[in-house]
Amino acid sequence: MVTELDVSAPDGRILHAYDTGADAASGLTLMWHHGSPQTGAPLEPVLAATRERGIRLVSYGRPSYGGSTPNPGRDVASAAGDVAAVADALGIDLFAVMGASGGGPHALACAALLPERVRGVVTIAGIAPFTERFDWFGGMVAPEGLRSALEGGRAGRAAYADTDEFDPEQFIPADFAALDGAWSSVGEDVGRSAQWGDDGLIDDDVAFASPWGFDLEQVAAPVLLVQGDLDRVVPRLHASWMLSRLPNAQLWARPEDGHVSVLSVIPDALDRLVVLIGANEA
């Protein structure tokens, strides 16, 4: 059973959250960070994987997504305060974080800025902070949204949203197969997110292409970076570069996966996360 609730952030904003309950057998809570754009509602395959492992699942919509109040000018780091507010409202002290695609940076923000609370991290196809140390746009089939955010700020990214169209070349056949099969809930949730407009995605892209508000070197918790080698949305170099910066990270490269098909690893990634947490806390 999933409970929906509205949580008040310290500044009065509302965060629309979801919780599977406190009776998880493993004693582990996972805070899920959704992709861009989605609503924050838990996806059925994630629910199934956590349920099978006795893990409590909590998720929420970032500002302007899924009923959460906008937070103009937010950076990636601001997610830590929002997650702390959700966790406090639910009486949760310690938790792990997992983020897919646009959720990856926000999961890392929690680990960097809430080090006493975050036990471990998984990012799946997560983008790296903008840097000129490697070709950040290299390998992206459709980088225009992020490029408009980098070059034009929020106004530039908002103007691009007026003409933005999905480029199917971003996905490999395995991605489309996943969307037609086990991960159909991703496409459905992206569709539902449209009722709240483009602001969430615009603000995400601006935050990704701007200073994040923390350094990767601050993340002390163990991190599992999961990356598809055939990803045309967030290419592998992003994960490789983050691996060189994160103090306690492992890279799990998936040679045949793209941006969506890589989500199939989530059950195994949860198992690896539990092992990483246990080794780190031993």
Distances 24 to 48, 94, 229 between C-alpha atoms, Å: 13, 14, 34
Q: Which residues pair with 59 in a beta bridge?
A: 18, 32
Is 143 a residue whose pLDDT tops 90? yes
Query: Do residues 101 and 189 make contact, with C-beta atoms less than 8 angstroms apart?
Result: no
pLDDT for the residue 245: 98
Query: What's the confidence (pLDDT) of residue 218?
Result: 98
Overall residue count recorded for the chain in this entry: 282
Residue 252 has pLDDT above 90, yes or no: yes
How do residues 148-187 score in pLDDT, each as one tens digit?
A: 999 999 999 999 999 999 999 999 999 999 999 999 999 9
The per-residue pLDDT for range 77-114, each reduced to its tens digit, is 999 999 999 999 999 999 999 999 999 999 999 999 99
pLDDT in tens, 270-280: 999 999 999 99
Mean pLDDT computed over every residue of the chain: 97
212-217 average pLDDT score: 98
What is d(CA 59, CA 86) in angstroms, rounded to the nearest whole number?
Answer: 9
pLDDT band at 145 (very low <50, low <70, confident <90, very high): very high
Tell me: pLDDT of 22 over 90: no
In this prediction, residue 23 carries a pLDDT of: 81
What ranges in the chain are assigned the alpha helix state H? 44-52, 78-89, 103-113, 144-161, 173-180, 184-193, 199-208, 236-245, 266-281
For residue 268, the enclosing domain spans 3-281
Query: Is residue 282 over pLDDT 90?
Result: no
Q: State yes or no: pLDDT of 235 exceeds 90.
A: yes
Task: Flag whether pLDDT at 3 surpasses 90.
Answer: yes
Give mean pLDDT, residues 190-211. Answer: 97
**What is the token pair recorded at 231?**
């990803």
Residues 41-81 pLDDT 10s: 999 999 999 999 999 999 999 999 999 999 999 999 999 99
Say which residues have a Cβ less than 8 Å from residue 195's Cβ, sequence separation at least 6. none
What does the pLDDT read at residue 151?
Answer: 98
Number of folded domains in the chain? 1
Look up the CATH number of the domain holding residue 69.
3.40.50.1820
For the chain, the first-to-last Cα distance in angstroms comes to: 32
**What is the C-alpha to C-alpha distance for residues 135 and 120, in angstroms, rounded to an integer?**
29
pTM score of the predicted model? 0.97
Q: How confident is the model at residue 131 (pLDDT cuts 50, 70, 90)?
A: very high
CA–CA separation, 6 and 45 (whole Å):
24
Task: Judge whether residue 24 has pLDDT over 90.
Answer: no
pLDDT reading at 251 higher than 90: yes
